[in-house]
Structures are given as structure tokens and as C-alpha cells.
A and B are shown apart, each in its own frame.
Chain A
């Protein structure tokens, strides 16, 4: 069969599935109720392949591929949950928990945090790595929202939501490596930035790094599900 055929058949975790040409492995897996863990991916935003939790194994290749950006091909055999992948996923989560100051008990997102949930799902019982305990700022200058860099995992969802959906591009990343942080405008206080106060970044943030001031002390679930709907409605117009 040639590459021009629109429908591909492939195997994910021993399950035969079909896909459209150009679809990502993650898309196809989720359509078929196969769970691949993700943190930086969010439906409605572009994909960056940065968190590496969605890495999968492809038969015949030693390289691990990020399911959120890797596209399907005919006859592909994908494994999403091998021992090797589980080991890497747990290590990546350990790295995240040790990188900044994630203290669930005092976090606004406790119980609704994607990082916390991910740790539970992946069977993370303790952190072997030394905690880095960096000293990071909390910017509460905005009248409605707060950014607590101690809880940020640099997934860049806020950056993408602000640039791609809101069109404001207030958020961006500054610095490099372990010293990277998300910033508003050219590293100005959030409160005096060009922020449009739409709050999309807060809703897409997977942890308690961005939160609504009015919700502190209350149950603070986030609702990022509006994105695909919003995109759909915009396309329909």
C-alpha cells in the first residue's frame, strides 16, 4: 500500500486500531481508550514534545518517540506501557517533584493537580533524588491571579494558550536550563503587564503555579476543557 492511502492500520498495545494519515499516536490511542500519560500536551494547543511522559516504544526502533507529535504509519506496532517506559516516566516525575517546591498539603491545587495525579497513576511512592529547594518568587501583583514559580513545571501551556488562543503573547520563557522561568512581558510584574485578564493561562495550568486569588482556601479545580470547544467554534465561524 502506498503512502497516499488515507487510512492507516496499526497496533497499539496489541490492539488493532485504525487512523487517518497524519494523526498522532496520542490521538489514536485516546480515541481507543488507551491511556498515554501527558503533561505538556493539552487538546486545543500546539504540541511541543517537552515533558517526555508520552514517550512510546515502536517495534523495530530503539528510539523512544513522543506520542503527542509522532505520526502513525501503516503497520506500526506501538507499546505504550513497557517496563522501560514506566521506569523513565517515574524518573521524569521524580525530577519534577525534586526540581522546585511542590508541597501538596499547602497547595491550592491539592486534589486537582495534574502532577499529583500523574504521580499517583505512575505509582510514585517516594522521591530518591535530592530536593533542590530553590528559592523562587511568588508574583501576586495581578488583581485577579497569582503566579507561584515554586509550583511551575515549565510545561509552557500558559505561554501557548496566551499566544495561540488569546493572541496576547504575554507569557514567555526566560533563562535557560534549570534557571528557566515563565515571565510576563519582558519580565515585568504580572499586574503591570499587558495581560488581558482573560484567565485562560490559569485554567490550562496543570498545577497550582497559576491560580485565581478569589479561590484560595476553597476547592480550586481548573477547567481546561473549553479549549477544543473554543477552537471548534472559531473554525465554524
Chain B
């Protein structure tokens, strides 16, 4: 009954009260309409230019846009605030042509000054990903209001920057943020952007409301009147709300995988797996190489052989995942290579390797004990923890799960290094240089989450990573990253188990779903509701 009370709704309070005694159903306003989405968390900081994470993008990408969005078309990018980009021969500059006729939600025109300000004052000094990606960015020149030239101190591959654009390039309004403490600006809690939806309202613990931007630059867009993100932290509640027709869309696998089969059969609901290709996660076993036993390659190989990836795919992911062969997921169209060392499930081989390494079975069949820390923030990493404990027991390794909550896990693994094996949901963000090589590159200071905190150091691998970072030719870059995958799978600084993405459960009335490989975290201008 909530959907009847849209912006165009004419129901009075009394009528709504009467309606509320009837069955709740999704009566939809013609055109427009209110899309209700389940959100499982409330990010403390919603500014996507500062915090480039999927949890933030999920909500903020509808309000604040990047220069370009990911696309299923060849080239992989769709222009948004930038209409074109070009790199110089020497790799020291990239020129962006910006879209004409775009204005901020407060009416001020969007210009190259906003891009320069965002890059120099926000992305480079404040953003979690931009701090390293734009480390060599020296200045941004603005010869005219629709041109921004990024100048780098070292050769920077255009391919890398282009791949990163959807994630790192959310543009903020200079006139709102200039001269303020950007991280604490009030606009971080009531976003101002150029996107198809304007900030409406936020009731902590209840919902976020975004309303239609009537002067959006896209012709005839957006379709929806407004979007409500309903805060539903309990996963079972998300499923029930969908079934009861109280929510149209639950993204990021907020409906438990185990419930998907059943919910797919509910009339009016569909399970959608597309729309996440550019945010593929990998189920990864992080290894602490400071632990003497684990610094032995044979032991790492034995662990890799002990994992039955088919079982993991079928039982934990219920088929909604692929086997990982290495640190780049198979669905990446550019960098992936299957030509790497693989470790088929083979308990006998695993036991032989451990014997060879000198770790013979002791009394009770146990060779040695390890601490296992599964990341607690995904059901799948926890369940894989339960499985890995059993898989290791089968080859004589006694793994004790050390439970932590989310904050405790981050501290234990990435600052205190109090683990032997950890299970992480690492993210591949369209280019290995963005958040993948950091997982194995040596020299990471303590306390950096989602980086190599296992003490692994391989000078050859480091050299390769550094070379790829300044290689401009796309073909050569790709070749280097293929070598990277081969070296990682051969030496196993970590073990990649599965490439896994999320699922959405969507009401059939929702149109324009999964239209790009980052759909859930894109601007939803083309999403609508039909009768």
C-alpha cells in the first residue's frame, strides 16, 4: 500500500488508513513510481569521492556521477560527465572533454573547475583508492570550462586510469566544498551532485529517500519518481519483505543463496545474476608467510590441493560462482589467462607434499595446527571457513577457527598479523593495478586492510608489478599481467578459490535492470517501474 502514496499520490491520510487494512500490494503509478530497495547497511560516510566502496556507491551513485560508467559494449566504458578522454604519447597527461549543459542539483553549472578540484583536493589526498592511483598526479589544467588536462609526474597508462574511472572519478561541486573541511562537510550527509536523483531524506535505521532530478542532463531521464532504500540489516527480513511485496529489489545477495531457489519460484520475483561483472569478488585464502611452516611452498601447494573447488561452488555458492584459477577472475575480458599452474583436488598428492616437506602425521593423524581466521562480513567466507577446517583436517592439518567480529578481524589480520590462514573476499576492480597487485606486493605498511599483510616478499614479482605500472602500451601491459597471474599461481602467496559475484532478487515490474556491469552501483537513470 506504500506504493500508492507516491509523489503523485492523492490519497489523504484517512484513505491511506483505509487502504492499509487491505492487502499490501504493488499498485504502481503510471510512469515514474517509487522503487523500494533493500539496503543492508548504512555507510557512515556517503561521499563516493572520498569513500570509493560498493556500499557507498549503492546509494550515492544515483546522486553523484563519475566521469564514465562501465559498459557491456566494446571498450567497456560509457561516457557520463566526460564525453571523451585521450592520453599523450609520453603518458604524462590525459585530456578529458566534459559534457555540456550539465548543472548541479543546486542549479550551478558543472565545469572543468569542479573536476580539477575533485581530483586535486579529494581523489588524490583523501580517497581510499585515489590516494595510490593518483599519487603521481601533479596538476589538473582547465584551459576552458569543458576541458580538463591531468598532468602526471611519471608515465601513467591511460588503460589503467580509464579502467578505474567508474570507481575513482565521482565529481564533487567545487562551490560547495571549497575552503571547508571536506571530510566533515555537511554535504557529505546530504549529497549534492549532477545525477538523475537528488538527495531527499535520511532517517537513520529506517530509510534513504532520493527524488527525481527534473533537470537531469539525460534526455527524458530518469524514469522513476523516487527511490527509497529501506534499511533491512537482517537477511531473512529482506527475503520476507520481497515476498510480501514491500520491497522491489534486494541486491548484493541480501537474500541468502540457500533461499534463492525457493524465491525464484515466487510469482512476480526473479533472480538476476547480471549487473555485477565489474565488481567481481574472489574467495581468497590469505597466508601468513611469517609462519615457518607456511613459508614452505610445498605446504602451500598441499593446502591448494586439499580444497575441493567443486564442492565449494556447489555447496557454499550453490552454483552462483566460478572456479578461480588465479588472482584475476575469468570473467574479466582483458587481463584473464587460464594458462596458469592449477591445483586439482587431490588429497593423496597433498599428503605426499606434506610428507616431502617433512611434516609427517603425528599421533591421531595430525601433522601441525594452524589458526584460521575467516572474514566475518560475508556468509560465504564464514561457511568456507567451516569447510576449510574440514578440508585441512582430511590432510592432517588441525585448523582452529579464531572468531572475531568485523573490526576485530581487520585488526587481527592486517595490523597484528595474528593469523596463519585467513579467508578474505578480495575485490577485482576491472584492472589488476587497482586493488589486486597490492595483495601480493611487498612493502605494505602495517594496518592497511586488504593488502599484503602476510609478509610475502618476492623481488621478481615486485619488479613485474612495478614495470606494469609504468607500461603504457595496452598490449604489453596485458602481457605483463598475464605473467603476473602465472607467477602468483606458481608461488602461491595466496590461494584464489572462487570468482564470485552477487545476485539480485528483483520484482518483475522493475525495468532497466542489469544494463551495465556495475548496474547496482550505477545511476539507475534508465531504471523504471511498469504495471
A, B co-complexed: no
**Which B residues lie at the A interface, using CB under 8 A?**
none
**Which A residues lie at the B interface, using CB under 8 A?**
none
